[in-house]
Structure 1
Amino acid sequence: MSDWLHNLPVPMMALVIFGFTYFLAALVFVAVALAATEERAKSLKAISPGMLPVLGIIFGLFVAFTAAQVWGDSDRAGAAVSREASALRSAVLLAAGLPAEQETKLRGLVRDYVGQAVAEEWPMMAHQEASLKATPPALADALKLVVTMMPQGRAQETSQREIVAALEQALDARRQRIIVSLASVNSVKWWCLYLQALCELLVIGFVHCDNRLGSAIAMGLFATGVATSVLLIAAHDRPFTGQISISPEPLRQIMPEAPTGHS
């Protein structure tokens, strides 16, 4: 599905998806009604109603497999953001064991990194444009600062080692969230999902071709189920896109405060 649909508010997304699905069901209803003439009605009625549960089960499996991917991507994205925030928080806390000048520089670099991630990377991830080609300058400078520092005593040496590990963990978590931001349900899966739904609608229409009201009710109910399933998947399809998306709030919460001036 395209960016414009994923970026719609959920009520508008629901309107588009339900409208399209009901339109598809209406087309099938009209097509079956036109095809079910007196000569053809008997042939259409000869289609076994036993196909309905079989096709319904296959459609349900399609939904389950697609939803499993979406839930997995969402869980991995949330875990990556939480792990990144936790690693950065650990680095900031451990900075207290460094000399005052290095501590101030490290806190400032972490603050710059968080600001860049929130202001630049999140909008890029929402449009699936984030890239792993470049390392964030602030985090690279933070690593360089800590690695090149000459520790004075075992305490600073331990702090240095732990801070480097925390910053490397934050970099790895960032890589994971960017990779997950590029994931989405591809067009082949969407086409297969709706094609299977179309097959089910056709069989409903054929089986009930002599009962227009019953056919309309059955098609409407199934179309509602299809639209509900598609809406649920589409709303969560891209973890960092749309109204229901993972926010950078965990990173904002751990952002070090800017140093205050002294008079």
Structure 2
Amino acid sequence: MVEWLAHAPLPLLAAVVFLALYLAAALVLVVLRTVSRLGHAETLGPLSPGILAPMGLIFGLLVGFLVADVWSDQGDASAATSREASALRDVDLLMATFPAEHERVQALLREQIDDYVDDEWAQMGDGGATLSVAPAGLVAVQRIALDLPVATEGQRVAQEHVVDAVDRALEARRTRLVLSTSAIDPLRLGALYLVAVVTLAATGCVQADRLRRAAVATGLLATAMALAMTLLCAQAAPFAGYFAISPELLLQVRPT
């Protein structure tokens, strides 16, 4: 379910979340009206408005904790992509010190970046990218860098920096692949929804003797909760959905 939410278009995602919370609010009102008609209205309220503060706080804390995790993964994934692009650019620039191998390395970098954009990015969006497949083009560049003929001190320093840049690119790729599998735990998302439903029920019970006011209060609260949960679910995975990280930085450093 969480995977579907992460890949759903934003309008469809918003429609599903809003519908789920509006249905919960409608169910609360139906129960209140039914109990009232049966002559047991005092059973459900009206409750003290003071109950809403702690329940709202619990919902807000849960949203805050989940958002903190989501934004942390999003930021780390974005930083990893930026570090990888920077490292690949360094490889291209430093290899100019070795004209005999520069063109070959540029071709390998082009092929590797194209593979990232065309295939690996889609796999990350589906959560199916793994570390078991090594980037062949970058591994070939690493071998070339280790075997470069060093004739001057400048070339020796350049070779060391090229090897270091390749290592940084490989490490950044490993980081983004690991982060591509991160997502909101379905149990925590389900718990958040249940807390939202209970809070809506409490809101309705506070106005149990005035059903029209209860409808307005639960409707407004359901709308606010739906907005928060929509933004949360839209960022459930770093490389999928409306806020997915794009490979634009890698395309910018692709050798021409």
Q: In which range does the TM-score fall when normalised by the shorter chain?
A: over 0.9
* 2:6 aligned partner: 6
* Structural mapping, 1:39-118, within 5 Å: 39-45=39-45, 47-98=47-98, 100-118=99-117
Q: For residue 62 of structure 2, give the secondary structure of its aligned residue in structure 1.
A: helix
Q: Report the secondary structure of 1:50's partner residue.
A: helix
Alignment of 1:176-255 (within 5 A): 176-255=175-254
> Moved runs in structure 1, 4+ residues, more than 4 A?
none
Name the SS of the counterpart of 1:36 in structure 2. Answer: helix
Unaligned 5+ runs, structure 2: none
**Could you tell me whether the CA contact under 8 Å between 2:77 and 2:175 is conserved in 1?**
yes
Q: Kindly report the root-mean-square deviation, in angstroms, between the aligned alpha carbons of the 2 structures.
A: 1.3
Give me the TM-score of the superposition, normalised by structure 1: 0.93
Q: Show CA shifts across 1:58-111 (max 9, x none).
A: 10001110111111111111101111000100110001111x221111111111
Distance in 2 between the 1:247 and 1:92 partners?
Answer: 21
CA distance in 2, matches of 1:146, 1:101: 12
2:159 maps to a residue whose letter is Q
User: Which segment is superposed worse, 1-10 or 215-224?
Assistant: 1-10
In 2, distance between residues paired with 1:57 and 1:2? 24
- 1:19-38 maps to which residues of 2 (within 5 A)? 19-37=19-37
- TM-score calculated relative to the size of structure 2: 0.96
2-side partners of 1:181 and 1:232: how far apart? Answer: 19
CA distance in 2, matches of 1:33, 1:101: 83
Residue 149 of structure 1 deviates from its aligned partner by 2.1
Separation of aligned partners in 2, 1:237 and 1:229:
13
**Aligned 8 A contact 1:32 1:202 in 2:** no
Contact 2:5 2:13 (8 Å CA) reproduced: yes
Write the letter of the residue equivalent to 1:125.
Answer: M
Deviation at 1:35, TM superposition (A): 2.3
Structure 2 residue aligned with 1:260: none
Structure 1 residue runs without a partner (length 5+): 258-263
Distance 1:19 1:46, change over 3 A: closer
Query: What is the CA distance between 1:46 and its match in structure 2?
Result: 5.6
Tell me whether 126-135 or 37-46 shows the greater mean CA deviation.
37-46
Percent of residue pairs identical: 36
Is this contact kept in 1: 2:145–2:159, CA < 8 A? yes
